[in-house]
Structure 1
Amino acid sequence: MIETLKAWWQELRSQILFIPGLLVFFGMGLAVAMVEIDRSVGAEPIRGIPWLFGGGASGARDVLATIATAMAQLAGITFSVTIVALALRSQQFGPRLLRNFTRDTANQVVLGTFLGTFVYALLVLRSVRDLEDATFVPLLAITGAILLALVSLGFFIFFIDKIVDSIQATSIIAQAAEETHAAIDSLFPESLGEDGYTEGDELEHPPLADAVPVLSRETGYIQTLANKKLIELASKADIVVRMEAPIGGFIVKGTPLASVSPRSRVDEKLLSKIWKTYQIGRHRSVTSDPEFGIRQVVDVAVKALSPSMNDPTTAVTTTEYVGALVIDFATRSIPSNLRMDYRGTLRVIAIGPTFRQVADLAFDQIREYGSDSVAVVLALLDSIIRVAGAVRAEPRKEILVSHVWKISRAAAKAIPDPVDREAVNRRLRLAMESLGRGESDAMHYLLPLKHEG
């Protein structure tokens, strides 16, 4: 239930009009409340206060109409600037990062402030009366409209500054990386401060015997799984559940989502309950799927290395942030894929992220598209050197050694200049040394000074 609510909340947050809609209703309620306060207090007791609006009905209409018009124009400008920023962001850094922008709370608050003030001014304007037998000018409400207009002006200045910052490469990369760090921290809160490797965490578990498949009822991405609820169901029914697709994986309607054993203890009602522990949606969610967060950051580097962009500096920055994410993952205590109930009986065989998957996701595509750039190759090796400082287990070091080998082979084919090749060789030696390999091992990874291509 909690996981479902989290997924629903994340989906709601990603809608750009979520907070603006709330602030519009707040502006409506505030306008009604302020007008009623004015009716209760009356104009005479407060007319002499210096900072309150002191004009008549005609002046009140002019002020409120001006504020409403200005807010409508600011909202229009904000929409236009936002659309332009989204287009630039999508074109330069990839479409996956658009949802980070649209669910940004600050952007939504700014737009909501303009729309809320617009609605507030209109409703207060409606209450102004200038008849022979009844004149009503809500002084407090009009003063509130003026204050809201000043606040909106401050928000507009803030918005312009934020938009300028939000389309800069470094800010976009940092924002995506911070969101991924937060997801890692939420999913794996126990930080060991050192290598979190446990024996067997890279192993795949075989399919269950005598199993019944849990078929997906939707097509989309697996966003969340209610782990505790699933273990409780499995314990109560005395069964074992094996995940057939990981969190963040794409599942097609009618294909196996999980398998349940033994068959004799399974019925349609139980399969339906297991299905309900999953949340399927149209988008991957970083909150429960930090690998998607790494993918978003890597996409920035891949886009920067495309022929249309040709921006190795952005790719280098991205590689540095990706290395930090790998280190963060490596130093976390990752729960075993074998999930037990309170009696210590195996109930769920999960598919969790592994160090190999994270390292491959972080380095492979950047190496593939950036092997002809000396700066990118050096940045990849520097990231591996930093990651090597955080891992102690030999199996994880072997994974990093394999990446050093792949980087070396790719660079040998793509970098022709002998001086550049020597610079790469120096960094290769440092990488192999950081992984506990001697000079004799490093010699096999060095680039020949003569270009192979």
Structure 2
Amino acid sequence: MSDGMITPADPAGTYGGGKKARRPRVLSPLREHLRDTMWFAPTAGLVGSMVLWWAAAELDAEIVRTLRESRDYDAIKDLIGVADDAKAVISTIGSAMMTFIGVVFSISLVAVQMASGQFSPRVVRLYVRSRITKATLTVFMATFLFSLMTLTSFDSERDPRLVTTVPLLESVLALLMVLLSLLLFVAYVNGTVRMMRIGFVIDRIAREALRVAVKQPTELPVDTSGLGPQTARVTHLGRAGVLRDVNIARAVRAARRQGVVLRLIPRIGDFVVPGTPVFTVHGGAAPPRRALRYTVSVGVERTFHQDLGFGLRQLSDIALRALSPAVNDPTTAVQALDRIVQFLASVARHPLGALGHRDRRGVTRLVQSVPDWAALVDLGFAEIRGCALGNPQVTRRMLAGLDDLLLLAPEERREPLLRHRELLAQAVERFVPQSADRTFALRPDRQGIG
């Protein structure tokens, strides 16, 4: 368990078989955590820049060594002349790149501040995960370091018979890196300006949420009553925080070796504190502590990885802020509702609730709880419905979305949709005094007022 340890408690069952399911990727949690950092890509770029400079310096030295062995001193003298002209350019590159790095930081901070204040503090994570931002910062820092290292390669010796290296290839690579930096800077500015527009932010959140939904297991939900009696329990001994994700492959492997079934008690996104149970064990003793190390990851905030409801949470937050009296922007709320309906439509027929993860033999080894259909519908509509009164644009769009979902959802999942539709109609009846206004506010419209 990352950020802490886990220990079995409560000593002591059966587990079911089934069809073989898609195996989870072992390194997926690590990959996602690295995407949530700003240090990894620039650090890798600096290391790559050092390796590239070393390789280029070796080639430059080899070229000079070959020319000296052939006694072609005139060619060496020509290389020295070209390198002298390039030295001033390389010096300019070093100072200019620091200015560019400062500009990138300034633009990023302004964009993050505006997004946090206008949309929701939770959308800041989109900027942290932005590939173009990381690529731009990485290339800028790598170019700066490469140019500094290239300056150290210039030899003060002018005699072609004594010169050991002429940084010709290094200078060419530095110029190419500058060209790449300029292209990335244009792309970065364009991408950042787009991310300051609410439509693109909402679209990005929706795409991330849909990506999580696609990764959910496709087998039928697990009947937890068939797991048998609880035989042990695994508690959390790390720091308190939000359960970000579970290393499914590691948990399944630990359960298979022990011959038991693990059931994850908290859902992804729940806040856990030390001493609370994380897993219940069915069918035998708990796996050893070392086998379950780094199985669950706890952090300070929720992430998209494995969190089915986080996208709806962000979309709902954006809509609620847009409907607040201080902002009063119902059109943004309608845009958020568009994506909420899109997400719910995509999972309308997906298995939800308790999902099983199987080992290579098709035996269920890990049972994980995810939000059920009613919980997702409530998350998408309940709070917005309470703030939509007095905004017919929003109530009309919500009614149209509910009607669309009623056509797409199976019969057994229609009840939450009908409940929200009835509650919205009742609220409008109480809040809007004029009959004509009530009729207008309760007329479904996919554009709100279109």
Tell me the TM-score normalised to structure 2 length: 0.81
| Residue of structure 2 aligned with 1:216, choices 236, 247, 254 | 236
Contact 1:373-1:415 within 8 A present in 2 as well: no
| Residue of structure 1 aligned with 2:426, choices 393, 409, 419 | 409
Paired with 1:161 and 1:64, the residues of 2 have a C-alpha distance of 28
Deviations 1:392-425 (A, max 9, x none): 22x3111100010121223233334543311233
Contact 2:154-2:166 within 8 A present in 1 as well: yes
User: Which residue does 1:448 correspond to in 2?
Assistant: none
| Residue of structure 1 aligned with 2:95, choices 69, 75, 93 | 69
Paired with 1:113 and 1:298, the residues of 2 have a C-alpha distance of 36
Q: Could you say if the C-alpha distance between residues 332 and 240 of structure 1 is closer, same or farther in structure 2, counting changes exceeding 3 Å? A: closer
Contact 2:269-2:307 within 8 A present in 1 as well: yes
Please state how far the C-alpha of 1:174 moved relative to its aligned partner. Answer: 0.4
Return the letter of the residue paired with 1:387: L
Paired with 1:209 and 1:379, the residues of 2 have a C-alpha distance of 47
Paired with 2:310 and 2:201, the residues of 1 have a C-alpha distance of 15
Q: Could you say if the C-alpha distance between residues 47 and 108 of structure 1 is closer, same or farther in structure 2, counting changes exceeding 3 Å? A: farther
Please state how far the C-alpha of 1:254 moved relative to its aligned partner. Answer: 0.6
User: Which residue does 1:285 correspond to in 2?
Assistant: 303
User: Which residue does 1:89 correspond to in 2?
Assistant: 115
User: Which residue does 2:42 correspond to in 1?
Assistant: 20
Please state how far the C-alpha of 1:74 moved relative to its aligned partner. Answer: 0.6
Q: Could you say if the C-alpha distance between residues 85 and 53 of structure 1 is closer, same or farther in structure 2, counting changes exceeding 3 Å? A: farther
| Residue of structure 1 aligned with 2:152, choices 110, 126, 132 | 126
Paired with 2:354 and 2:101, the residues of 1 have a C-alpha distance of 50
- Tell me the matched-pair count: 413
User: Which residue does 1:450 correspond to in 2?
Assistant: none
Please state how far the C-alpha of 1:292 moved relative to its aligned partner. Answer: 1.0
User: Which residue does 1:397 correspond to in 2?
Assistant: 414
Paired with 1:46 and 1:116, the residues of 2 have a C-alpha distance of 34
User: Which residue does 1:114 correspond to in 2?
Assistant: 140
Counterparts in 2 of 1:352-363, with a 5 A limit?
Answer: 352-363=370-381
Q: Could you say if the C-alpha distance between residues 24 and 211 of structure 1 is closer, same or farther in structure 2, counting changes exceeding 3 Å? A: same
User: Which residue does 2:388 correspond to in 1?
Assistant: 370
Contact 1:177-1:293 within 8 A present in 2 as well: yes
User: Which residue does 2:53 correspond to in 1?
Assistant: 31
Contact 1:189-1:332 within 8 A present in 2 as well: yes
Q: CA RMSD in A?
A: 3.4
Deviations 1:100-146 (A, max 9, x none): 21111111001111111111111111111233445554222212222
Paired with 1:235 and 1:143, the residues of 2 have a C-alpha distance of 56
Return the letter of the residue paired with 2:377: A
Please state how far the C-alpha of 1:164 moved relative to its aligned partner. Answer: 0.8
Deviations 1:312-354 (A, max 9, x none): 1111101001110001111334585467778998765542221
User: Which residue does 1:243 correspond to in 2?
Assistant: 264
Contact 1:61-1:125 within 8 A present in 2 as well: yes
Counterparts in 2 of 1:196-275, with a 5 A limit?
Answer: 211-218=231-238, 219-227=240-248, 230=251, 233-234=254-255, 237=258, 239=260, 241-261=262-282, 265-266=284-285, 270=288, 273=291
Moved more, 33-42 or 233-242: 233-242
Moved more, 213-222 or 128-137: 128-137
Contact 2:395-2:442 within 8 A present in 1 as well: no
Moved more, 335-344 or 410-419: 335-344
Deviations 1:254-310 (A, max 9, x none): 112233357xx436x546645753333333221211211221222111222222222
Paired with 2:152 and 2:235, the residues of 1 have a C-alpha distance of 57
| Residue of structure 2 aligned with 1:163, choices 164, 175, 192 | 192
Moved more, 278-287 or 167-176: 278-287
The DSSP-based 3-state class of the residue aligned with 2:443 is: helix
The DSSP-based 3-state class of the residue aligned with 1:427 is: coil
User: Which residue does 1:11 correspond to in 2?
Assistant: 33
| Residue of structure 2 aligned with 1:386, choices 399, 404, 418 | 404
Contact 2:244-2:302 within 8 A present in 1 as well: yes
Q: Could you say if the C-alpha distance between residues 335 and 53 of structure 1 is closer, same or farther in structure 2, counting changes exceeding 3 Å? A: farther
Return the letter of the residue paired with 2:94: A
User: Which residue does 2:21 correspond to in 1?
Assistant: none
Counterparts in 2 of 1:288-299, with a 5 A limit?
Answer: 288-299=306-317
Q: Which has the higher contact order (CA 8 A, sep 6+)?
A: 2
User: Which residue does 2:442 correspond to in 1?
Assistant: 425
Deviations 1:333-382 (A, max 9, x none): 45854677789987655422211111111111211222221111111112
User: Which residue does 2:167 correspond to in 1?
Assistant: 138
Paired with 2:421 and 2:79, the residues of 1 have a C-alpha distance of 71
Paired with 2:131 and 2:247, the residues of 1 have a C-alpha distance of 27
Return the letter of the residue paired with 2:266: A
Q: Could you say if the C-alpha distance between residues 236 and 157 of structure 1 is closer, same or farther in structure 2, counting changes exceeding 3 Å? A: closer
Return the letter of the residue paired with 1:28: M
Deviations 1:33-65 (A, max 9, x none): 2222222223979999xxx99954543221001
Q: Could you say if the C-alpha distance between residues 271 and 412 of structure 1 is closer, same or farther in structure 2, counting changes exceeding 3 Å? A: farther
Please state how far the C-alpha of 1:75 moved relative to its aligned partner. Answer: 0.7
User: Which residue does 1:437 correspond to in 2?
Assistant: none
Paired with 1:420 and 1:156, the residues of 2 have a C-alpha distance of 51
The DSSP-based 3-state class of the residue aligned with 2:414 is: helix
Structure 2, unpaired ranges of 5+: 2-23
Deviations 1:5-57 (A, max 9, x none): 32222121111232122122222222222222222223979999xxx999545
Return the letter of the residue paired with 1:20: P
Return the letter of the residue paired with 1:156: F
Structure 1, unpaired ranges of 5+: 191-197, 431-453
Q: Could you say if the C-alpha distance between residues 150 and 370 of structure 1 is closer, same or farther in structure 2, counting changes exceeding 3 Å? A: same
